[in-house]
Chains A and B, each alone.
Chain A
Amino acid sequence: MNENIGIILMVIGLVFDFFGCLGLIRFPDVYTRLQASAKCVTLGTCGILFGLFVCTGFTATGIKALLCIAFIFLTAPVSAHALARGAYRSGVKPCEGTIVDQYSETIKK
């Protein structure tokens, strides 16, 4: 029973990972691509790891999977933040359809 639930969670995680990668190809510029990859890949990978934890229970593997979930949730948004900030500071332009851009107005001053 536990194994079935774990495999379902892993499949959900894989589907979200797939959508994240699809967004990486389909979205027009750096910042929108970061949105897709940061969100979907975080939850997708955590889904796979949580599925592994449900499969194995409180064993050595399961505990390590839980620890990895905590680390991914702490570090993945930070890396996305750093990439977005670095891209803006080094002058990567947002795509054509951008509505407002209050940040680049600020760093020009």
Chain B
Amino acid sequence: MKVILQVITLLVIFLIPFASWQPVSAEEQTEKVEQKEEFDYKSAEFKGVASQFKCTCGCGQDHYECDPSTCNLTTEWKADFVEMMNKGMDKDEIRKYYVDIYGEEILTAPEKKGFSLTAWVTPFVVLAGAGSGVFFVIRRWVRRKNDNDTPTLMDENLTTDETENEILQSMIDEERKKFF
């Protein structure tokens, strides 16, 4: 019972930062902003569009992050995005428009089609393959153990009182050091 109370206390402490945080998502914030003004370069909708394209000024950032005060290039891009968004084009249409002109190189991430799809799926395919490998290896090792012997009472004791065993061992070591 005592431990449950302690865990509840821990949980409450954990939740305190969230309670005072009152997270507002970017979308909600954008709604508030857009009620007052037409447009904000840092709005969630604009972010969705502009962060798809990398800035070629050498800053290594996308057009959402790139600061227009130090990059003339991004100023024009940003203005074009706004114009297209005002025309009613969505982020996919805008992406397609630029990819048709500049190629896939202009994007900040590979497309999820054609050869570029391999960029996205390979890590998970490899992970799944390796995971299957690990499963079969463990199964083989477990079978080998089961073939050799059966669990003993000692095994069970080892698993249930592992912490106590370790503490006991450390205390024995401590006592031994006192005398030798």
Q: Do A and B bind each other?
A: no
Which chain A residues have a beta carbon within 8 Å of chain B's beta carbons?
none
